[in-house]
Chain A
Amino acid sequence: MKVKLILTLALAALVVFGPVPCGGNQSAAGQAQRKTQRRKSVRYECPMHPEVTSRRAGKCPKCGMALRLAKNDGPAQTAGTAERATGTATEGAGAASSLRIPDAVVYNQNGRRLNFYTDLVKGKVVAINFIFTTCTTICPPLTATFRRVQSELGEHMGRDIELISVSVDPVTDTPARLFDFAEKFKAGPGWTFVTGDQSEIDSLLRALGVAVADKNDHTPTVLVGNDATGYWTRAYGLASPATLVKVITEASDHK
C-alpha cells in the first residue's frame, strides 16, 4: 500500500514538474541556438604558458601577462600589442614578430651615452629584460637569473651575445644607481644596464611592446633576438637559466 502511494506521488510529481523548463529553452529553436552558442564559445590562453587556458579574458596566474584568444578560435590577439604567434621550438616561449627597435638615446651604468639600436643591438644576439633599482619583489630574482645565464654563456658574452637590462624607472635610476645595482649582483662585462630621459625610455619600451602605466606592473618578460636574421622571441624571466640559455642559443643558431 505504502509503495503504491509513493509511486503515485512520484508520478504526480513528474506530471506536475516535468514540463517546467529547468534552466534552458526546451523548444527546438532554443536547442539549436544553444548549440551555436557553444560552437562560438571562446578560449583564452597565455602567450607564454599555452597550458593555461580560461573561458574569460584576464591575466595568467603564472606570469601576469594578458591572456589572448586561443589560435583555433580566430585571429590571435594579445591585448596591447598586435602580434602573431609564429611558434618556436622552445616550450613556454611565445614569439614576437620582427621588432622595429628605435635608436633611442640611452646612458649605460658608466654614464656613457649610447644609441640603443646601433650600439647595443645591431648585428648581435641580445637578451633584454626590464628592471628598476628600487624594485624589491621581482627584479632581484630576475637579475640573479640573468647573472646565472651570463656565467653559463661564458665566452660568448660580449662577443656575439649581449645582455641588456632596461630601467623602467629612468627618473630615479641614474647611471650611478645602475652601477651600484649591477655591482650588487656581480654583473660581468657584456651586460649593459640602460637608463635615460623619461621620454626616450618610454618610446623605447613602447616600441618593444612592454610599456605599462605603473612601473610596479612591469613585465617579467625577456626579449631574445638575433638582429642579423630579424628573429625575435620572448621568454619568461623567472624560468630556469637553462631554459633561457636554450632560447638564446636557438636565436643565435637561427639562420
Chain B
Amino acid sequence: MSLSPTSKLRAAAICLTLTAGLLTALQNARSAAARAFLAQEATAATTGLTPQEKRGKQIYVRGTTEAGREILAYVGDALIEVPGSTLPCASCHGLDGQGKPEGGVVPSNVAWETLTKPYEVTQASGRKRPPYTERALELAITRGLDPAGSKLHPAMPRYQMAREDMADLVAYLKRVGQDRDPGLTEKSITVGTIVPAKGELAGVGQAIRAALTAFFDEVNGRGGIYNRRVELKFIETADTPAATAANLKRSLQDEQVFVLAGAFTAGADREIAALAGELGVPVIGPLTLSPQTGRPLNRHVFYLLSGLEEQARALVNYASQKSQGDKSGVLVVYPESELSAGAVAAVKDQCQKNNCGPVETHGYQRAQFDAQGLAGKLGKTGKQVVLFLGAGDEAVALMREADKLNWSPAVYLTGAGGGGVMEAPPSFNRKIYLAFPTSPADQTADGAREFRALAAKYNLPRTHLATQLSAQGAAKILVEALKRAGKDVSREKLIETLEGLSDFQTGLTPAVTYGPNRRIGALGAYVVTIDLEKKEFVSASGWVNVN
C-alpha cells in the first residue's frame, strides 16, 4: 500500500515526536517517583548448584571469593605473585573444564570423572599419575604436585587461599562441565527485563511488557528456540538506582534469569552495567540515553541505539561536514549534570577530530534558567553554531530571546531536546537540527508488517510506539544470537555470538553491528531539520556514522 507524500511525512513526524517523547522520558527517569518494588518470592532452584558450589564456581571462573577473602597465585619457576583474578582456573582450563591449549601449553581436562579415572594415566609429556582424590587435588592446586608427587607444568600456578575457599572450589570442581548457566534448561530459557512500574513512566513500562510478551508468545507459538520455550520475567524499578540494582540482583539470583533483553535501565545505567559484569549476565538492547562505554569496556552489555553522547558526536560530524572549512567553532550550552558532562567531553573530542575550531562551553543551572540573560551573554560570542543539550522548552525560550537580539545561529539538539521545538520563532526556520538514533526509515517493509500484525493480534497499546519498537528490536537481536549460538548455548557463547553480529537487520531499527571493542549496535544518528512554516520535520541527512 502506498501513502501519499504528505501522509508519509505526517507518519514520520508522529514517529519522531514519539521518539523524542521517549528520549525525554528517559532523560527524566531519575526524577520519576516509583513505589518500592515488592520482593518476589524466591523460587527454589530445581536444577543448578548448591550455594557452596556457586561460591566455588566464582573462584573457578573469576579467581575471587564471595566473602572477599584474598586468593594469590604464584606462577612459573620463579613463583611470581599475582592476584588470583589475573589467573583464574577457567582462563586455562575453560568454563567446561576441558582445557584450552595455546602456545604449546596444553592445560589438562579437569572434569572430575577425568581426574578420578580408576587407573594410572599417562600425560602427553610422558608423566604418569594415579587417580586424583580430593586431597591430591588440593595439593595440585596449592603445591603444583600430581598424585604421584611429580611437578606439574610451570604454567600451572600454585594458589594460596583460605581452607573454606578451597573446600568450595573442590566442591565445584566435582560439577565443572556438567552445570548449565542459570535460567537455561532442556525445555526453557528465562529472559528477564526491567520495567518502570509506577509514576509517569508506568506507561513506558506497560508498553515494554506488552511488546515483549507479544513477541515471545509468538516465538513460543512457533516452537520456541531449539525447542526451548521463552519464559519472561519482569523486574520492576525502584526509587533509587541502588534499590533498582538490588531488585535486579535478587531476581537474577533467585529467578534464574539467563539473559536480560529490552530492559529499561535509564537512571540506573552504571549500577546495572556493573551488576551485569559482576554476575556475568548478558544484557541486550537496554533502553537508555547513556550507554556505559567507558574503559575497560563492559563485555556484558550490548546497547542497541546511540545515547546522548553519540548523538552529540553525530551532530558535530554533520555540522563540520556542512560548514566545510568554517573554523569559527562551536558553542556548547548545557545544564549542569552528570549526563551532560560526558556529552560535553564527547563534543570536544569529536570537534578535535573534525578540526571544527575552538569549542566554547557554557553551563547553566536548571533550576535558575534565565533565557534572557543567557541569550544576551551567548549572543556576544557571535558564534553561529550552537549545540544545546538542555530540554526542549529551554531551547525554545532561548531561541525566542536570541531572536529579539537578532541572533539566529544554527541550533543543534539531540533527540531528547526536541520537545515543543515547533514553537520556535520563524527566524530559526530550517536552522534547527535534531539528531535521532533511529527513524521510521529503519523499518523495512517486512519488519513494519510483522509489527503491525503483532499489534493487531495482541492488542498492543497505541502509545509509546518508539519504546515498543526498541524493545522488540532488542528481542530480535536476542533470538538471532540464540539461533546462531546453537542448542548447546551458554552465556559466554551468547556473548561471543553477539560480538560476531555485523550489519544485522532487525527490520525495526538501524542495522546493528557489534565487535570485541564495540558495544553500541547502531552507532550514529539521523539528522533532521525543522520547517517552521509547514510545521514539519525534514530529513537533513542520511545516517551519520560515529566511529
- A residues near B (Cβ < 8 Å) are 59-65, 134-142, 144-145, 147-148, 172, 174, 176-177, 180, 184-185, 216-220, 238-242
Expressed in whole angstroms, the minimum distance between the Cβ of B144 and any Cβ of chain A is 13
| 9 A-B pairs closest in CB distance | A64-B104, A136-B91, A137-B102, A138-B103, A240-B77, A172-B516, A240-B78, A137-B92, A61-B125
Instruction: Say yes or no: is B76 at the interface (Cβ < 8 Å to chain A).
Output: yes
B78 near A220: Cβ-Cβ < 8 Å: no
Instruction: Say yes or no: is B80 at the interface (Cβ < 8 Å to chain A).
Output: yes
A220 near B76: Cβ-Cβ < 8 Å: no
Residues on B with beta carbons closer than 8 Å to the beta carbon of A176: 295, 517
Instruction: Say yes or no: is B75 at the interface (Cβ < 8 Å to chain A).
Output: yes
A140 near B82: Cβ-Cβ < 8 Å: yes
Expressed in whole angstroms, the minimum distance between the Cβ of A98 and any Cβ of chain B is 26
Docked complex: B78-124 residues within 8 A CB-CB of A: 78, 80, 82, 86-87, 91-92, 100-105, 107, 124
Identify which of A63, A145, A216, A217 contacts B80 (C-beta below 8 A): A145
Residues on A with beta carbons closer than 8 Å to the beta carbon of B80: 144-145, 147-148, 241
B86 near A148: Cβ-Cβ < 8 Å: no
A141 near B87: Cβ-Cβ < 8 Å: yes
Expressed in whole angstroms, the minimum distance between the Cβ of B81 and any Cβ of chain A is 9
Given A61-B126, A148-B80, the answer on whether A219 and B103 have CB atoms closer than 8 Å is yes
Docked complex: B359-416 residues within 8 A CB-CB of A: none
B76 near A238: Cβ-Cβ < 8 Å: yes
Instruction: Kindly state the separation between the CA atoms of A61 and B153 in the bound complex, as whole angstroms.
Output: 11
Contact with A along B256-277 (1 / 0, CB 8 A): 0000000000000000000000
A141 near B76: Cβ-Cβ < 8 Å: yes
Q: Show 24 residue pairs from A and B whose CB-CB distance is below 8 angstroms, ordered by the A residue.
A: A60-B104, A61-B124, A62-B125, A134-B516, A136-B92, A136-B100, A137-B91, A137-B101, A138-B104, A140-B82, A140-B87, A140-B91, A141-B154, A142-B103, A148-B78, A172-B516, A176-B517, A177-B517, A184-B86, A185-B86, A216-B102, A219-B104, A238-B76, A240-B77
Instruction: Kindly state the separation between the CA atoms of A180 and B298 in the bound complex, as whole angstroms.
Output: 13
Residues on B with beta carbons closer than 8 Å to the beta carbon of A61: 124-126
B154 near A144: Cβ-Cβ < 8 Å: no
- Which of B104, B105, B155: most chain A Cβ within 10 A? B104
A64 near B295: Cβ-Cβ < 8 Å: no
- Which of A62, A63, A141, A220: most chain B Cβ within 10 A? A141
Docked complex: B460-515 residues within 8 A CB-CB of A: none
Identify which of A59, A62, A144, A216 contacts B75 (C-beta below 8 A): A144
Minimal Cβ-Cβ distance residue in A for B87: A140
A172 near B155: Cβ-Cβ < 8 Å: no
Minimal Cβ-Cβ distance residue in B for A59: B104
Expressed in whole angstroms, the minimum distance between the Cβ of B248 and any Cβ of chain A is 26
B517 near A174: Cβ-Cβ < 8 Å: yes
Expressed in whole angstroms, the minimum distance between the Cβ of B110 and any Cβ of chain A is 13
Instruction: Kindly state the separation between the CA atoms of A141 and B80 in the bound complex, as whole angstroms.
Output: 9
Minimal Cβ-Cβ distance residue in B for A61: B125
Expressed in whole angstroms, the minimum distance between the Cβ of B349 and any Cβ of chain A is 13
Residues on B with beta carbons closer than 8 Å to the beta carbon of A62: 104, 125
Instruction: Say yes or no: is B296 at the interface (Cβ < 8 Å to chain A).
Output: yes
Contact with A along B138-155 (1 / 0, CB 8 A): 000000000000000011
Minimal Cβ-Cβ distance residue in A for B91: A136
B103 near A216: Cβ-Cβ < 8 Å: yes
A238 near B154: Cβ-Cβ < 8 Å: yes
Expressed in whole angstroms, the minimum distance between the Cβ of A31 and any Cβ of chain B is 34
A141 near B78: Cβ-Cβ < 8 Å: no
Instruction: Kindly state the separation between the CA atoms of A59 and B101 in the bound complex, as whole angstroms.
Output: 14
Expressed in whole angstroms, the minimum distance between the Cβ of B160 and any Cβ of chain A is 15
Instruction: Kindly state the separation between the CA atoms of A63 and B153 in the bound complex, as whole angstroms.
Output: 11
A135 near B102: Cβ-Cβ < 8 Å: yes
Instruction: Kindly state the separation between the CA atoms of A137 and B296 in the bound complex, as whole angstroms.
Output: 20
Contact with A along B273-287 (1 / 0, CB 8 A): 000000000000000
Minimal Cβ-Cβ distance residue in B for A60: B104
Instruction: Kindly state the separation between the CA atoms of A246 and B296 in the bound complex, as whole angstroms.
Output: 36
Instruction: Kindly state the separation between the CA atoms of A134 and B296 in the bound complex, as whole angstroms.
Output: 13
Residues on A with beta carbons closer than 8 Å to the beta carbon of B101: 137, 216
Instruction: Kindly state the separation between the CA atoms of A138 and B87 in the bound complex, as whole angstroms.
Output: 10
Residues on A with beta carbons closer than 8 Å to the beta carbon of B75: 140-141, 144-145
Given A64-B103, A240-B77, the answer on whether A141 and B295 have CB atoms closer than 8 Å is no
Instruction: Kindly state the separation between the CA atoms of A197 and B142 in the bound complex, as whole angstroms.
Output: 42
Instruction: Kindly state the separation between the CA atoms of A118 and B75 in the bound complex, as whole angstroms.
Output: 34
Given A172-B516, A238-B76, A239-B77, the answer on whether A141 and B104 have CB atoms closer than 8 Å is no
Residues on B with beta carbons closer than 8 Å to the beta carbon of A241: 76, 78, 80
Instruction: Kindly state the separation between the CA atoms of A139 and B80 in the bound complex, as whole angstroms.
Output: 14
A137 near B105: Cβ-Cβ < 8 Å: yes
B103 near A137: Cβ-Cβ < 8 Å: yes
Given A134-B516, A137-B92, A238-B154, the answer on whether A217 and B103 have CB atoms closer than 8 Å is yes
Instruction: Kindly state the separation between the CA atoms of A61 and B124 in the bound complex, as whole angstroms.
Output: 7
B295 near A180: Cβ-Cβ < 8 Å: yes
A145 near B76: Cβ-Cβ < 8 Å: yes
Residues on B with beta carbons closer than 8 Å to the beta carbon of A60: 104
A218 near B103: Cβ-Cβ < 8 Å: yes
Residues on A with beta carbons closer than 8 Å to the beta carbon of B107: 137
Expressed in whole angstroms, the minimum distance between the Cβ of A193 and any Cβ of chain B is 15
Instruction: Kindly state the separation between the CA atoms of A140 and B74 in the bound complex, as whole angstroms.
Output: 12
Expressed in whole angstroms, the minimum distance between the Cβ of B91 and any Cβ of chain A is 3
Minimal Cβ-Cβ distance residue in A for B155: A141
Minimal Cβ-Cβ distance residue in A for B99: A137
Residues on B with beta carbons closer than 8 Å to the beta carbon of A147: 80
Q: A137-B103, A138-B103, A177-B517 are in contact. List 11 more A-B contacts (CB 8 A).
A: A137-B92, A137-B100, A138-B155, A141-B155, A144-B82, A145-B80, A176-B295, A180-B295, A219-B103, A238-B154, A239-B77
Minimal Cβ-Cβ distance residue in B for A240: B77
Instruction: Kindly state the separation between the CA atoms of A60 and B86 in the bound complex, as whole angstroms.
Output: 27
Residues on B with beta carbons closer than 8 Å to the beta carbon of A219: 103-104
Instruction: Kindly state the separation between the CA atoms of A11 and B29 in the bound complex, as whole angstroms.
Output: 104
Residues on B with beta carbons closer than 8 Å to the beta carbon of A135: 102-103
Residues on A with beta carbons closer than 8 Å to the beta carbon of B104: 59-60, 62-65, 138, 219-220
Instruction: Kindly state the separation between the CA atoms of A241 and B81 in the bound complex, as whole angstroms.
Output: 13
Expressed in whole angstroms, the minimum distance between the Cβ of B159 and any Cβ of chain A is 14
Expressed in whole angstroms, the minimum distance between the Cβ of A181 and any Cβ of chain B is 9
Expressed in whole angstroms, the minimum distance between the Cβ of B151 and any Cβ of chain A is 13
B91 near A242: Cβ-Cβ < 8 Å: no
Given A61-B125, A61-B126, A174-B517, the answer on whether A144 and B76 have CB atoms closer than 8 Å is yes
Residues on B with beta carbons closer than 8 Å to the beta carbon of A184: 86
Instruction: Kindly state the separation between the CA atoms of A217 and B517 in the bound complex, as whole angstroms.
Output: 23
Instruction: Kindly state the separation between the CA atoms of A245 and B517 in the bound complex, as whole angstroms.
Output: 35
Expressed in whole angstroms, the minimum distance between the Cβ of A166 and any Cβ of chain B is 14
Expressed in whole angstroms, the minimum distance between the Cβ of B89 and any Cβ of chain A is 11
Instruction: Kindly state the separation between the CA atoms of A187 and B157 in the bound complex, as whole angstroms.
Output: 20
Expressed in whole angstroms, the minimum distance between the Cβ of A55 and any Cβ of chain B is 15
Expressed in whole angstroms, the minimum distance between the Cβ of A92 and any Cβ of chain B is 11
Minimal Cβ-Cβ distance residue in A for B86: A140
